[in-house]
C-alpha cells in the first residue's frame, strides 16, 4: 500500500496542530512548513501541547517564498496539501493590510503554483473563511451566498478562495476550499475574543487579574471546535470530486453570551469584571455570521460534534490548568 503523505502550511497554528494530530492518528506521514523565528523556544508549542511534535517533520520555509515551497514539495512528494498558513487575525489586517494581502492572499497562489508544477496530482485544501461573507447578503450563509468582504483579511481570503476555484477549473486540480466559520479550542491564539475571554476568566478566578477589556459585545459568531472542523478538511480531500463546502454549527451566539457562559462556568458574573474599551472596536464590523452546513452534512457526512457549552468548558478548564502551572500559550 502506498503511504499517505500530507504537507501542511500553518502547522504551528491552531488548526495545524489539530489536523496534524488527526492525520498522525490515521497513519499519515505528516510534514509541515516552519517559518524561521528568533524565538525558537516558542516554536511548535501547540504541536507539543497536542502531543505530535516528535511525530511530524518540519521544513524551513515561508509561504511567501515560492522557492522554499518548490524545494519542500520536491522532497516530500505529498499526496495531500493543506494550505492553512495566513496572517489570520482580522483586526491586525487593518494595521498590516499589505502584509496580509501578501501572506493570506497572494501566497496561497504560491502554494497552488508550487503544487501545479511539482505534484499536480496531489489533493489541495485551501482554508477559506466565513469572513468572506462580511456584510452578510443572506441571514444564513451557504456556498451560494454572495461574498462581501469587510476587512483586508477577508479581501485577501477571497482572492485565495477564487484562485483555488480557478486552479480547479483551469488545470483540473483536485483543489477544494473549506469556508469555515469561526472555530476555537484551547489552542486558539490569545488575541481572538473567545480565548481572550477564557484566559481572562481563568486569571480572574485565580486572583491574578480583575478586569477584562473588550470591544463590541453584540457581534455574533457561529463558533465550533477546531477538532471537529479539521476533520472536515480531511473529508473534503477524500471525495472523488473537489468542491467548496461551508463548515459551521448552525448556531449563532453573541460575544456577550459567550462571555457570560465562561464567567458562569467558574461561578462569576461578567458584569463585575467586563469593561468596554473602544480600542477593540473595528474599522468595519462583521455584525453576525450564521452558517448553513447542509451540503457538508449531506455529501461529507460531517457534523459539528461539540456544543458551545462544551467548547467554553474545555477552554476555561484548559486555561485554569495552564495558569495554575504558570504556563503560557
Ligand atoms: P493561526 O493564526 O493559529 O495559524 C496561522 C499559521 O500560519 C501559523 O502556523 C503561522 O506560523 C503560519 N504563518 C503565518 N504567516 C506565514 C508565512 N509567511 N509563512 C509560513 N507560515 C506562516 O490560524 P488558525 O489555525 O486558526 O487558522 C488556520 C487557517 O484557517 C488560517 O488560514 C485562517 O485564516 C483560516 N481560518 C481560520 C478560522 C478560525 O476560526 N480559526 C476560520 C476560517 C478560516 P507561526 O506559528 O510562525 O506564526
Ligand atoms: P474574527 O471573527 O475572525 O474577527 O474573530 P475574533 O475572535 O477576533 O472576533 C470575533 C468578534 O468579537 C468580532 O466581531 C470582534 O469585533 C468581537 N470582539 C469584541 N471584543 C473583542 C476583543 O477584545 N478582541 C477581539 N479579537 N474581538 C472582539
Residue by residue, what is the 3-state secondary structure of 98-135? HHHHHHHHHHHHHHHHHHHHHCCCCEEEEEEEHHHHCC
Nearest-atom number in ligand 1 for the CA of 187 is 3
Q: What is the pLDDT of residue 39?
A: 79
CA 10 / ligand 1 centre spacing (Å): 5
Which protein residue has the closest C-alpha to ligand 1 atom 40? 182
44 and 142 inside one domain? yes
Q: Could you read off the pLDDT of 260-283 as tens digits, one per residue?
A: 999 999 999 999 999 999 999 999
Ligand 1 center from residue 12 Cα (angstroms)? 8
With contact defined as beta carbons under 8 Å apart, do 194 and 258 qualify?
Answer: yes
189: Cβ below 6 Å to ligand 2?
no
Q: Is 192 in the pocket of ligand 2 (CB under 6 A)?
A: yes
User: In terms of domains, do 179 and 193 share one?
Assistant: no
- The pLDDT of residue 203: 97
Residue 60 maps to which CATH number?
Answer: 3.40.50.720
Same domain for 175 and 129, yes or no, is yes
CATH code, domain carrying 278:
3.90.25.10
Residues 13 and 184: their CA atoms lie apart, in Å, by: 12
Q: Would you give the distance in Å from CA 113 to the centre of its chain?
A: 22
Verify that 160 and 233 share a domain, yes or no: yes
pLDDT at 328: 63
Residue 259 lies in a domain: yes
Contact between 137 and 124 (Cβ < 8 Å):
no
Spatial neighbors of 208 by CB under 8 A, at least 6 apart, are: 323
Atom of ligand 2 nearest to the CA of 215: 20
Q: Please tell me whether residues 14 and 114 are part of one structural domain.
A: yes
Residue 47 in domain: yes
Total count of domains within the chain: 2
pLDDT confidence of residue 42: 74
Q: Ligand 1 pocket, 96 CB below 6 A?
A: no
* 165 shares its domain with 214: no
Residue 228, ligand 1, Cβ within 6 A: no
Ligand 1 centroid vs 268 CA: distance in angstroms? Answer: 32
Residue 212 belongs to domain spanning: 189-221+252-289+306-324
Answer yes or no: is 299 within a domain.
no
Please check whether residues 153 and 9 belong to one and the same domain. yes
Q: Which residue CA neighbors atom 22 of ligand 1 most closely?
A: 85
- Could you tell which of 7, 88, 236 is best to mutate to test the pocket of ligand 1, judged by most ligand atoms within 8 Å of the CB? 88
Place of cell 487575525: 89
- Residue 233's CB is within 10 A of a number of other CB atoms, namely 26
- Ligand 2 pocket: which of 215, 258, 276 to mutate (most atoms within 8 A of CB): 215
Query: Grid coordinates representing 246?
Result: 461551508
User: pLDDT value at position 240?
Assistant: 98
From first to last of its 329 residues, what are the pLDDT tens digits of the chain?
468 999 999 999 999 999 999 999 999 999 999 999 887 677 899 999 999 999 999 999 999 999 999 999 999 999 999 999 999 999 999 999 999 999 999 999 999 999 999 999 999 999 999 999 999 999 999 999 999 999 999 999 999 999 999 999 999 999 999 999 999 999 999 999 999 999 999 999 999 999 999 999 999 999 999 999 999 999 999 999 999 999 999 999 999 999 999 999 999 999 999 999 999 999 999 999 999 999 999 999 999 999 999 999 999 999 999 999 876 66
Average pLDDT, the chain: 97
pTM of the predicted model, to two decimals?
0.98
Question: Checking phi first, is residue 283 left (phi over 0); if not, alpha (psi -120 to 50) or beta?
Answer: alpha
Q: Are 247 and 293 in contact (CB under 8 A)?
A: yes
109 and 229 in a common domain: yes
Domain presence at residue 154: yes
Q: Which residues contact 223 (CB under 8 A, 6 or more apart)?
A: 181, 182, 183, 184, 194, 249, 253, 258, 308, 311
Cell readout for 152 is 483586508
User: Are residues 79 and 134 part of one domain?
Assistant: yes
Is residue 156 domain-shared with residue 66, that is, in the same domain? yes
Q: Are residues 158 and 274 in the same domain?
A: no
> Could you tell me which of 212, 205, 203, 186 has the C-alpha nearest to residue 323?
203
209 domain-assigned:
yes
Residue 67 φ/ψ region, left for φ over 0, alpha for ψ in the -120 to 50 degree band, beta for the rest: alpha
Q: Are 240 and 281 within one domain?
A: no
Tell me the torsion sign for CA atoms 100, 83, 131, 188: negative
Amino acid at each position: 500500500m502506498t503511504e499517505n503523505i500530507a504537507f501542511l502550511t500553518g502547522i504551528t497554528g491552531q488548526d495545524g496542530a489539530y489536523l496534524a494530530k488527526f492525520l498522525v492518528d490515521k497513519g499519515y506521514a505528516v510534514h509541515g512548513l516552519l517559518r524561521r523565528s528568533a524565538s525558537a523556544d516558542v516554536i511548535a508549542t501547540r504541536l507539543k501541547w497536542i502531543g505530535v511534535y516528535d511525530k511530524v517533520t518540519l521544513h524551513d520555509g515561508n509561504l511567501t517564498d515560492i522557492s522554499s515551497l518548490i524545494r519542500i514539495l520536491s522532497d516530500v512528494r505529498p499526496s495531500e496539501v493543506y494550505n492553512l498558513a495566513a496572517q489570520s487575525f482580522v483586526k491586525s489586517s487593518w494595521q498590516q493590510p499589505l502584509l496580509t494581502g501578501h501572506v493570506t492572499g497572494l501566497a496561497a497562489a504560491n502554494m497552488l503554483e508550487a503544487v501545479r508544477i511539482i505534484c499536480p496530482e496531489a489533493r489541495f485544501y485551501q482554508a477559506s473563511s466565513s469572513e468572506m461573507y462580511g456584510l452578510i447578503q443572506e441571514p444564513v450563509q451557504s456556498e451560494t451566498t454572495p461574498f462581501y468582504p469587510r476587512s483586508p483579511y477577508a479581501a485577501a481570503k477571497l482572492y485565495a478562495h477564487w484562485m483555488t476555484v480557478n486552479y480547479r477549473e483551469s488545470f483540473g486540480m483536485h483543489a477544494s476550499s473549506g469556508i469555515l466559520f469561526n472555530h476555537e479550542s484551547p489552542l486558539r491564539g490569545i488575541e481572538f475574543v473567545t480565548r481572550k475571554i477564557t484566559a481572562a476568566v481563568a486569571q480572574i478566578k485565580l486572583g491574578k487579574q480583575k478586569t477584562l477589556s473588550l470591544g463590541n459585545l453584540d457581534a455574533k459568531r457561529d463558533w465550533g471546535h477546531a477538532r471537529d472542523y479539521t476533520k472536515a478538511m480531511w473529508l473534503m480531500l477524500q471525495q472523488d470530486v473537489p468542491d467548496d463546502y461551508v463548515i459551521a454549527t448552525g448556531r449563532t451566539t453573541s460575544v456577550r453570551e459567550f462571555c457570560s457562559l465562561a464567567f458562569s462556568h467558574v461561578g462569576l458574573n461578567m458584569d463585575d469584571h467586563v469593561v468596554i474599551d473602544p480600542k477593540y472596536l473595528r474599522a468595519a464590523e462583521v455584525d453576525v455570521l450564521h452558517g448553513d452546513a447542509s451540503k457538508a452534512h449531506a455529501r461529507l457526512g460531517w457534523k459539528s460534534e461539540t456544543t458551545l457549552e462544551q467548547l467554553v468548558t474545555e477552554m476555561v478548564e484548559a486555561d485554569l490548568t495552564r495558569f495554575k502551572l504558570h504556563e503560557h500559550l
